[in-house]
Structure 1
Amino acid sequence: MSAAPKHDLRHAARARRRALAAQTDADGREAAAQAIAEAVLGFVPDPGRVAVYESLPDEPPTGRLVEALLEAGHEVIVPVVLDDFSLEWRYAVRGAAADEATVRRPGRGGRSVGVDERRDWLGTDAIATCDLVVTPGLSVDSHGTRLGQGGGCYDRALQHRDPGAPVVTLLHEGEQSTTDLPADPHDVPVDGYVTTTGRVVRLR
């Protein structure tokens, strides 16, 4: 698959997302955070381990989701983006935000991490122990093809997951694709998505 169609789709999806974020006030964002938390909790009725990500300001908010999972007795792990765009995992911290807690590739606004801090990280294969994986994404189509940010982080990470653990993507309402998204052989389909209105769509 040529990179051009995905590049164009990402460009359009990011512009749409920025516009949605600009139109959403604090009350709307809080309502979205609560709707996402309630919807995702339905995927894991029994205490288990859940992989979530720390959302950026224009992404569907995950802070309340992390809190709700912890309050319900689940163990929550979140990714750290390493220099090679692989994901290592650590335990979630209440109230953390992606721009403060996620390690970015050097030159892309990241911060350095000391040996003592990394001692508590869980490794790149910790996702294999999760009962649910919640991923970011710009769009998802009816086949479960997910349009990511282009780094391939999650497609590589999902190779380590338990095949029995569902994978769901969080989207703003309206970001789901009504047409088939381009897919490469390495792309890993997701099992469904949850929108900021709390709508749950199971695909696989």
Structure 2
Amino acid sequence: MSAPDKRDLRHAARARRRELAAAMDRGASSEVLAEAVLRFVPDPSRVAVYESLPDEPPTGRLVEALLAAGHEVIVPVVLDDWSLEWRYAVPGAVGDQQTVTRPSRLGRPGDDERDGWLGTDALATCDLVVTPGLSVDAHGTRLGQGGGCYDRALVHRDPAAPVIVLLHEGEQSDADLPVDEHDVPVDGYVTTTGRVVRLR
């Protein structure tokens, strides 16, 4: 019998995630995740964090906690070609994922950064990268949603900056996940129960 492919694994992982999210105390999980991730963060730092969808481990409180602690936070916007553009997170403006349109204009060099837009290579300036994922195995292989956004974005990161995934407790994979040539391994994961697992 052949091993399941990524499409089958994603289908099963999404079904499991819906069940786990439905049973989750979102407020409590938000606080636990924020406290756990803050232990990864050197001081002061620039941290990349995604804006969570309703069934994902919640990131709104994490962004608030990072900003309150004096860290700089950047969040992604998905462009038409599935690459990620980065912008500054603003206190009080980040909760579950919002639709943000990248302004299309010509300006002077430096205008984008002054307006809060940092380019597609902004992960090179981060001290920690928090990524979404459906599962992670013991080797740091991350099962993403299939668009390849983060695998393309992570090639820009500083190799010294840890990359972690947020998971619901129970989403980690005991079996090895399939790996493609473009897949970028992660350094660990944090679960909604506050469990921190360092892999590399």
TM-score normalised by structure 2 residue count: 0.90
Aligned to 1:196: 192
Q: Which amino acid aligns with 2:94?
A: A
1:115 equivalent in structure 2: 104
Contact 2:42 2:127 in 1 (8 A): no
Cα-to-partner distance string for 1:182-201 (whole Å, 9 max, x where unaligned): 00011000000000001000
SS at match of 1:90: strand
| Counterpart in the other structure of 2:78 | 81
Q: Cα deviation per residue 1:98-141 (whole Å; 9 max; x = unaligned)?
A: 5424x4xxxxxxxx543379753110011100000000000000
SS of residue in 1 equivalent to 2:161:
coil
Equivalence for 2:94: 96
Counterpart Cα distance in 2 of 1:143 and 1:66: 27
User: 1:19: how far off?
Assistant: 1.0
* Structure 1 counterpart of 2:168, from 168, 172, 185: 172
SS in 1 for 2:66: helix
Distance 1:17 1:70, change over 3 A: same
Instruction: Note if 1:124 corresponds to 2:116.
Output: no
Alignment RMSD = 1.8
> Which segments of 5 or more consecutive residues in structure 1 lack a partner in the other structure?
104-111
Deviating above 2 A after TM superposition, structure 1's stretches of 4 or more consecutive aligned residues are 93-101, 112-120
Please, which moves more after superposition, 191-200 or 44-53?
44-53
Provide Cα deviations, 1:31-53, integer angstroms capped at 9, x if missing partner.
Answer: 11111101110111311100000
Give the Cα–Cα distance (whole angstroms) in 1 for the partners of residues 9 and 98 of structure 2. Answer: 28
TM-score, normalisation: structure 1:
0.88
Higher percent of residues as helix? 1
Count of residue correspondences: 190
Aligned to 1:108: none
Q: Which residue pairs with 1:106 in the alignment?
A: none
Q: Could you tell me which residue of structure 1 aligns to residue 8 of structure 2?
A: 8
Q: Secondary structure at the match of 1:115?
A: coil
Secondary structure of 2:119's partner?
Answer: coil
Gaps of 5+ in 2: 106-110
Alignment-mate amino acid for residue 84 of structure 1: D
Q: Match of 2:139, as an amino acid?
A: H
